[in-house]
Structure 1
Amino acid sequence: MFRSSKRKAVIATAALALSGVLALSACSGGGADAGSGAFDPDADVTLNFAFWGNDVRADLYTQAIAAFNVEHPNITVNSTFLDFPAFWEKRQTEAAGGGLPDVMQFDYSYLRQYSESNLLLDLEPYFGDTIATDGLSEGILQIGVVNDVTTAIPTSTNAWGMFTNPKLMDSLGVEPYEGGGSWQDYSDWMESATAAGAEAGVYGGSDWTGRIQNFEIQLRSEGSFLFDDAGKAGFDKERLAEFWNEGAPVREEIGIPAQRVEELMPLSPFASAVATSELTWDNFGSGYLGSLGESYTELDLVAPPVTVEGSADLYLKPSMLHAVAATTEHPEASTILVDFLINSPEAGAIFGTNRGLPASETQLAGVELAGLDAQIRDYEATIADRLGDAPPVPITGFGTLENKFLLIGQELGYDTITVDEAVEQFFAEMDVVLN
């Protein structure tokens, strides 16, 4: 969740330079034209593929690439992975030099800025050829469209939720959190769990105001939004200050201390069995189980707190997408790999819901929805009455703002800035990024 001071300085510098970097790299050219007739499907090709995740996801991609090579032994895939912040730091550096990987796991937060900077290949010319679309609904395909150009395809969808650890709670004698309720209800439950886990060094959770998604669902419940597609903010300084002030008791007394969070990195407190709950996207479950180890075999997944009853505060988003660099020298081979990772039942059987519920019906057919996979499907059915329309493709610079929100959350946790200073910092960053 939080990063060291060195990492913080790197992100802050990259954030200031990001817009200029992408603008300069937008001139760096594009890949070979689709349908040029130059593609030999049997030629030996090497592709670079990058994704973010942990060792669990890395193992799944290793299996998926091995299955891909059974069908396409001539396409060598060199894969690399980093944690989420480091992944985007590296992509920013590569964008400046025109050296993005051929194929990338992509995040919705960055799609607009990379697309509008002409860094991603238009995939539509490959539809029906190297990319099958019969298993993808029009709504799913539209998720990856920016300014009428398809620059990415979702692998899967997910929703915001809360994971809790039943074994850990049982060992502490803590009653499970049932989901929903108010934010105060959640903080009260967290306080009781922290008190019960004091001797064992276990906490009820961490400061939920450090995640911009929790702010977003509060705004959505009030009929507002984070940003519209023109870059207008749906909140003012007073509303942001109110949100961060709500987290003061959690930061000061209830939640896991910021120093302890940093000691546990790169794992989160929940993935380390040091916290009994965590608010996050529902596809994180398998990664948590992998990190927790064999002694933990199940998790509970419940709805996040409610700000305004009856509101459509939640939504389904692409948990991730796949995109191809505009500069790739192998667009056809790259799109063949994208097609396999998105559509193949074999990949579905390997990943399950690690990347969320598969967006492609053909890939979903390969997934046996049992255990955690079925739990995620069932969870999304239980929140159907809270699901509203997804927000527009995030504004250019949203990923930078999301990182800044996390960094400010760290500073608030260390008590090195006040809430008023935090608000001024974030609005100053908004001014730099959006204007």
Structure 2
Amino acid sequence: MKKYLWYVLLLVLFLLVACNGAEQDDTTNAEGDRDQEDNSETTIRVAWWGNQERHDMTLEAIELFESTYPDISVQPEYTGWDGYWERLNTQAAGSNLPDVIAMDNSYLNEYNSNDLLVDLAPLIDEGTINLDDVDDVYQEINHDGDRVLAVASGANALALVYNVEMLEEHGFDLEPGFSYDDLFEMNLTIKDALETEGQEYFGYDFANAEYELLNNYVRQHGMSFYNTEGNGLGFEEAVLVDYFEWVQEMVVDGAAPSHDIMMSYIEGGNSMVQEGSSAMQTAASNQIIGISQGTEYELDLAVLPAWDGVHANYIRPSMSFSITAHSAQQEAAAKFIDFMTNDLEANEVLQAERGVPISSAVREHLSDKVSEPVQKTFDYLEVVADYTTDADPLSPPGETEVRGAFSRIVESLKYDQLTPEEAANQFVQQAENVLN
């Protein structure tokens, strides 16, 4: 019996030791798992739109970022312009937006009003996003009061891209101060001369930017496109009538191409300026880079036409980066934005394709490392700074619908289906309905 009890005691002792060992093993595994979690790779999703060249450049810059921050992995999500916003809308509805999204100013307030964007001001104040080398003019439009909604990934300004040789040949220049009427006369004169020689000339290419030109036009009249409250237009209908008269005259009299010709070039990815059937077009200044790649002509950038001697352009983000409210990795996301803003090697890769870098240190570093068209975008922002006024507040939610209404109406105007007065009245009514 004693022997039996001794065996039982030994068995119990063995089990207690085994349990203790198991507990110790579990603790070790738990600690190991925690250590592994602490040292694990953080993944952030980054989304942008663009063509293949932009995608390739950005992916190469991301590789540099990941080598600089080996604990952060970037999952890229990129597509073309049209599919980009549809995809973001779907992700927003599912509370699954990427950590960092490329943002266009026309959508910024819409996303902000739906509480989808993080205020970047604290991340900037603490230095995670370093804007020490960034002048306010490159960032002010991304503010909502004290909140910072985005950091510009490049800057541009509306411009005219023009054929240097063609204008010189016909005795014209686009030195600051030329007027809207001058554009009309220049293009009719060139058209008459070239068509006499049997060449095709379409005239001034609006490039589907009549909306942007109107924004500049109303600013030249001391007004803004939208009112301060964001619930209505900020300009008088008579100003719109004047602008529509000019647009219609340009097209109907042959100083600009018909709407269908203009759209056929846009949809085909072609450019009249590239092929020499137009001497000039409306463009964001950084568009000269892509346009120059497809032509033998020397191209340059000119400021927008003056109205009664008044200029009212402004420097704006060509696009920006925002951190979304769905991000659980906001610090890592901020490091990515900081890297794209300030890293010299990354910006050598990016080649200012998104617009002029907002960091003065980056601009200086790239000055002798970029192509001639890119350098012209740098030079243009230096010039246009002398012909600007303060940027308007962010466009209100509903701006994309207002733009859609404008596009439909200006198309009818250019086909001479509406008078300028009818077109202006229709647009004001439709815009006010959207904004109210």
- TM-score w.r.t. the length of structure 2 is 0.79
CA distance in 2 between counterparts of 1:58 and 1:177 reads: 36
Mapping of residues 248-327 of structure 1, within 5 Å = 248-252=248-252, 253-266=254-267, 267=269, 269-270=271-272, 272-273=274-275, 274-290=277-293, 292=294, 295-296=296-297, 298-309=298-309, 311-327=310-326
8 Å CA contact 1:229–1:395 kept in 2: the answer is: no
In structure 1, what is the equivalent of residue 21 of structure 2? none
CA deviation string 1:157-214 (max 9, x = no partner): 32222111236668xx544542431101111112233344544444222248952222
Residues 78 and 377 (structure 1), Cα distance of their counterparts in 2 relative to 1, 3 Å cut: closer
Please identify, of 218-227 and 43-52, the stretch whose mean Cα deviation from structure 2 is larger.
43-52
Letter in structure 1 aligned against 2:250: V
Q: CA RMSD in A?
A: 3.1
Letter in 1 for 2:133: G
Give identity over the alignment, percent: 25
Residue 415 of structure 1 deviates from its aligned partner by 4.2
Is 1:178 matched up with 2:181? no
The DSSP-based 3-state class of the residue aligned with 2:434 is helix
For each residue in 1:13-43, what CA deviation from the matched residue of structure 2 results, as whole angstroms up to 9, or x when unmatched?
Answer: xxxxxxxxxxxxxxxxxxxxxxxx9997853
Deviates more, 1:369-378 or 1:157-166: 369-378
2:112 matches 1:115: yes
User: Within the alignment, does 1:333 sit opposite 2:335 as a pair?
Assistant: no
Structure 2 counterpart of 1:60: 57
Write the distance in 1 (CA, Å) between the matches of 2:213 and 2:134: 29
Between the aligned partners of 1:306 and 1:240, the Cα distance in structure 2 is: 16
**Residue 246 of structure 2 is aligned to residue 243 of structure 1:** no
1:308 alignment partner AA = D
- Other structure's SS at 1:306 match: coil
Closer/same/farther in 2, CA of residues 279 and 40 from structure 1, 3 Å limit? farther
TM-score by length of 1: 0.79
| Per-residue CA distance 1:204-233 (angstroms, 9 max, x = gap) | 222489522222222222222212331242
Equivalences for residues 45-56 of structure 1 within 5 A: 45-56=42-53
Q: Per the alignment, do residues 283 and 423 of structure 1 end up closer, same or farther by CA in structure 2, a change over 3 Å counting?
A: same
Instruction: Compute the displacement of 1:388 (Å).
Output: 1.6
* 1:104 counterpart SS class: strand
Quote the Cα distance in structure 2 between the aligned partners of 1:206 and 1:215.
15
Measure the CA separation in 2 of the matches of 1:224 and 1:116. Answer: 24
5+ long unaligned stretches in structure 1: 1-36
Assess if the C-alpha contact under 8 Å between 2:205 and 2:282 holds in 1: no
Higher helix fraction (1 or 2): 2
Structure 1 pair 432–407 and aligned structure 2 pair: CA distance change class (3 A): same
Q: Is the 8 A contact 2:304 2:313 kept in 1?
A: no
Corresponding residue for residue 79 of structure 2: 81
CA distance in 1, matches of 2:159, 2:417: 30
Please report how far the alpha carbon of residue 120 of structure 1 lies from its aligned counterpart in structure 2 after TM superposition. 0.9
Higher deviation after alignment, 334-343 or 131-140: 131-140
Query: 2:414 & 2:98 partners in 1: Cα distance?
Result: 36
User: Is 1:160–1:314's contact at 8 Å kept on the other side of the alignment?
Assistant: yes
Cα shift at 1:377: 3.0
What letter corresponds to residue 59 of structure 1 in structure 2? D
Q: Deviations over 1:267-306 (max 9, x none)?
A: 253465343211222122212223x25x45x411112211
- CA shift, 1:119, in A, is 0.8
**Contact 2:313 2:388 survives alignment (8 Å):** yes
Q: 1:207·1:251 contact (CA, 8 Å) conserved in 2?
A: no
Aligned position for 1:13: none
**After superposition, where does 1:108-187 map in structure 2 within 5 Å?**
108-127=105-124, 128=126, 130-137=128-135, 140-166=138-164, 174-179=170-175, 180-187=177-184
- 8 Å contact 1:164–1:276 — kept in the other structure? yes
Q: Which runs of 5+ in 2 are unaligned?
A: 1-33
Rounded to whole Å, the distance in 2 between the matches of 1:377 and 1:38 is 48
Question: Secondary structure in 2 aligned to 1:286?
Answer: helix
Kindly provide the amino acid, as one letter, of the partner of residue 112 in structure 2. S
Specify the code of the residue in structure 2 equivalent to 1:354.
E
- SS for the counterpart of 1:204 is coil
Q: Distance in 1 between matches of 2:87 and 2:40?
A: 30
Residues 92, 195 of structure 1: alpha-carbon distance in 2 compared, 3 angstrom cutoff: farther
